[in-house]
Structure 1
Amino acid sequence: MQQRANGCKGCRESVQITPDKLQRLVDIATRGRAAATDELYAQRMAHCGRCPDLQYETTCRYCGCLVAVKARLLDSVCPCPLFPKW
């Protein structure tokens, strides 16, 4: 996957993460915190998946977070400054 021209200048392909590691990070982040339901999580991920500011299919351009982690946390919000998607 190539870096987008308007993407994060510090990011390279080496920042890509495996699905297993991503799931471990989600599990760690949600320990002791309220997690979004599977339905809400799926809705949030669908919005992020269509977002032109999703980088490497995992990372939000605006906040630098892994969207799978951010979307799973119940109290999270979309960081898009113009029009939050969720």
Structure 2
Amino acid sequence: MSLEEKVCKGCESSVTVEKKELIRLLGSIPPDKMSSNTVYEKRVSTCLGCEALLYGTTCKFSGMIVFYKAKQQEKRCPYPQNGKW
């Protein structure tokens, strides 16, 4: 099994997020609830460098896809003892 085909033990499904699915998820966020592109890019950059990132997509602490969570302006980083964003 390749890394791209890895299965999430908690949800019993693939942890791979195709670009088409990510675009669909991001499109489901109401525009007035979205982070600006600058904030989004900074958040994602922080997540991609975090040791709590699993499979290149998922936060160990929230279980959410970081690209989706980072685009939501009211969301915060769940990293213990003060989130990273």
TM-score between both structures, scaled by the size of structure 2: 0.81
Query: Alpha-carbon deviation of 1:52?
Result: 0.8
Contact 1:49 1:57 in 2 (8 A): yes
C-alpha RMSD over aligned residues: 2.2
Aligned to 1:41: 40
8 Å CA contact 1:33, 1:73 repeated in 2:
no
The equivalent residue for 1:14 is 14
Correspondence for 2:84: 85
Tell me how far apart the structure 2 counterparts of residues 35 and 13 of structure 1 sit (CA, whole Å).
Answer: 27
Give the SS at the match of 2:61.
coil
- Asked whether the equivalents of residues 44 and 70 of structure 2 are also in contact (C-alpha less than 8 Å), the reply is yes
- Which stretch of structure 1 is more off in the superposition, 58-67 or 9-18? 9-18
Unaligned runs of 5+ residues in structure 1 are none
Higher relative contact order (CA 8 A, sep 6+): 1
TM-score, normalized by length of structure 1? Answer: 0.80
